[in-house]
């Protein structure tokens, strides 16, 4: 008998009928001779709606209470799914994250899993039940308060449980047929990636691909949990995220995929004195307020012994970063701060670039031919990213996708619900 963890995202349980459809799938998995643990997200837009409701009640709700509120979304879908499973002729028990033994840090809204004590889950399985766990939540080890793990983190719950339970399979059901070479809504010729390594998936997730939560991929890589990304709307083969010995993933192309991200902004600190320690002061000020920056470019000015330092960061964190910089402007002695929130990042990712020269040239030539201007560049061993004008992102993604031979004529990509959940 195999032990399977199946996670269903919000768009797979958007209404009563879809809850019943998920119930049938889960029961079929059990009848095929498996032990089944289901991790469930809140129905449809529930989490957004709860957040909106909280905002109407209070402009700045206490984080602890916000977590009490948001965890209710997953608790609802877990109980409803259990009911539907009984109706489909099997028996189930639903648990909150806390009951299921998901132990976390106390960082409300962004808690990390530090331990899983899955005793009750195992008991349920041994009794022959399907066990349902509310995703995206846990209980803080020290305060014993209910926590959430960050938006989209039901994926992470699933992988963490799969690791703790020694599951044979971890399946993430969503509303697309797997991981694609680009967002099918921008590139209709995108193709499904049959198999991809953890490190490539990490780069794609970190650079805007929304199909898997970033921390879920980090967790899967650390614990070596193979993850299958599948559609709950079809029976297609999906994508396997796993570790591959270099060169053994026969499906691998030079570039695995093209990711894009529209959530960043660019800040430029102008007229920074060209002296030792100034850049350190700029970035210390930003680090002190907990803002995570992404790309950095420094232009040395030839004339007036000052430089301009540009960096990108999540647009949502721009106000905090600017405030922190203003506070040290006089001390550091820079002239001004300007920002641009109309930018986008386009990244090509592939382990193949380790061994193949010319990837950068091909990427940049494609951008030039598409008339796209590059504002910033950054690279890792397996990724090249550029910042471009927000309006140029679709053209840039399509150009890169085509240049690396990723276009498929068959128009294979199907987006069933279109939210990536």
Considering only the stretches 12-20, 39-47, 158-166, 360-368, report the one whose residues sit in contact with ligand ASP under the rule CB under 6 A. 39-47
Can you give the C-alpha Rg of the chain in angstroms? 23
d(CA 348, CA 370): 16
Q: Which is nearer to ligand ASP, 41 or 256 (CB)?
A: 41
Do the Cβ atoms of 41 and 77 come closer than 8 Å? Answer: yes
Of 265, 321, 267, residue with least CA distance to 291: 321
Q: Which of 11, 18, 104, 154 touches ligand ASP by CB under 6 A?
A: 154
Residue 136, binding choice from Mg ion, ligand ASP, none, Cβ under 5 to 8 Å by partner class? ligand ASP
Helices 198-206 and 214-223: angle between axes, nearest 10 degrees: 160
What SS3 class is residue 210?
coil
Residues in region 283-322 near ligand ASP by CB under 6 A: none
* Site residues for Mg ion per CB under 5 A: 9, 152, 421
Residue 151, binding choice from Mg ion, ligand ASP, none, Cβ under 5 to 8 Å by partner class? ligand ASP
Size of the site for ligand ASP (CB under 6 A): 13
Of 266, 300, 286, residue with least CA distance to 388: 266
Residue 118, binding choice from ligand ASP, Mg ion, none, Cβ under 5 to 8 Å by partner class? none
Q: Which of 136, 180, 219, 244 touches ligand ASP by CB under 6 A?
A: 136
Closest residue to ligand ASP, based on beta-carbon distance: 154
Q: Which is nearer to Mg ion, 101 or 152 (CB)?
A: 152
Q: Which is nearer to ligand ASP, 273 or 314 (CB)?
A: 314
Q: Which of 42, 176, 259, 286 touches ligand ASP by CB under 6 A?
A: 42
153 forms part of the interface with ligand ASP (CB under 6 A): yes
d(CA 104, CA 113): 4
Residue 403 has which token pair? 């240049």
Helices 16-31 and 63-87: angle between axes, nearest 10 degrees: 60
**246 Cβ neighbours under 8 A, 6+ residues apart:** 351
138 forms part of the interface with ligand ASP (CB under 6 A): no
Q: Which is nearer to ligand ASP, 7 or 20 (CB)?
A: 7
Do the Cβ atoms of 398 and 186 come closer than 8 Å? Answer: yes
d(CA 5, CA 309): 47
Minimum distance of Mg ion from residue 114's CB (angstroms): 22
Plot region of 152 (φ>0 → left; ψ -120 to 50 → alpha; else → beta): left
Q: Which of 135, 208, 238, 257 touches ligand ASP by CB under 6 A?
A: 135
Q: Which of 21, 151, 236, 402 touches ligand ASP by CB under 6 A?
A: 151
Q: Which is nearer to Mg ion, 12 or 307 (CB)?
A: 12
Q: Which is nearer to Mg ion, 152 or 226 (CB)?
A: 152
Q: Which is nearer to ligand ASP, 231 or 312 (CB)?
A: 231
d(CA 309, CA 406): 35
User: Does an H or E element contain 103, and which?
Assistant: strand 102-104
Binding site for ligand ASP (CB under 6 A): 9-10, 41-42, 47, 73, 135-136, 151-154, 421
């Amino acid at each position: 008998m195999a032990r399977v963890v199946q996670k269903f995202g919000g768009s797979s349980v958007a209404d009563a009928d879809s809850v019943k459809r998920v119930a049938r799938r889960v029961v079929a998995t059990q009848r095929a001779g498996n032990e089944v643990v289901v991790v469930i997200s809140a129905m449809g837009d529930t989490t957004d709606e709860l957040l909106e409701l909280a905002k109407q009640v209070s402009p700045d709700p206490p984080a602890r209470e916000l977590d009490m509120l948001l965890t209710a979304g997953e608790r609802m879908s877990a109980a409803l799914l259990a009911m539907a499973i009984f109706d489909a002729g099997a028996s189930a028990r639903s648990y909150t994250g806390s009951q299921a033994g998901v132990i976390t840090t106390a960082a409300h809204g962004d808690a990390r899993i530090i331990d899983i004590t899955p005793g009750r889950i195992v008991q349920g399985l041994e009794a022959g039940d399907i066990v349902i766990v509310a995703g995206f939540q846990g209980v803080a080890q020290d305060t014993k308060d209910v926590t959430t793990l960050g938006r989209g983190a039901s994926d992470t719950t699933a992988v963490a449980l799969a690791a703790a339970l020694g599951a044979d399979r971890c399946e993430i059901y969503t509303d697309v047929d797997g991981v694609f070479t680009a967002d099918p809504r921008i590139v209709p010729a995108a193709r499904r990636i049959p198999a991809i390594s953890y490190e490539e998936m990490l780069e794609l997730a970190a650079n805007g691909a929304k199909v898997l939560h970033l921390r879920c991929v980090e967790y899967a890589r650390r614990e070596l949990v193979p993850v299958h990304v599948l559609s709950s709307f079809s029976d297609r083969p999906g994508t396997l995220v796993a570790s591959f010995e270099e060169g053994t993933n026969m499906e691998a192309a030079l570039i695995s995929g093209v990711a894009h991200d529209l959530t960043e902004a660019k800040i430029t600190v102008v007229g920074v004195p060209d002296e030792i320690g100034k850049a350190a002061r700029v970035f210390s000020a930003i680090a002190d307020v907990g803002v995570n920056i992404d790309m950095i470019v420094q232009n040395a000015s030839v004339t007036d012994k000052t430089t301009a330092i540009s960096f990108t960061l999540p647009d949502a964190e721009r106000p905090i970063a600017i405030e922190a910089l203003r506070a040290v402007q006089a001390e550091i002695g820079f002239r001004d701060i300007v920002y641009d929130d109309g930018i986008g990042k386009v990244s090509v990712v592939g382990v193949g670039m380790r061994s193949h020269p010319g990837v950068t040239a091909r990427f940049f030539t494609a951008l030039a031919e598409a008339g796209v201007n590059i504002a910033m560049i950054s690279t890792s061993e397996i990724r090249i990213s550029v910042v471009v004008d927000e309006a140029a992102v679709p053209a840039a993604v399509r150009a890169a996708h085509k240049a690396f031979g990723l276009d498929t004529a068959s128009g294979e990509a199907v987006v069933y619900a279109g939210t990536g959940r």
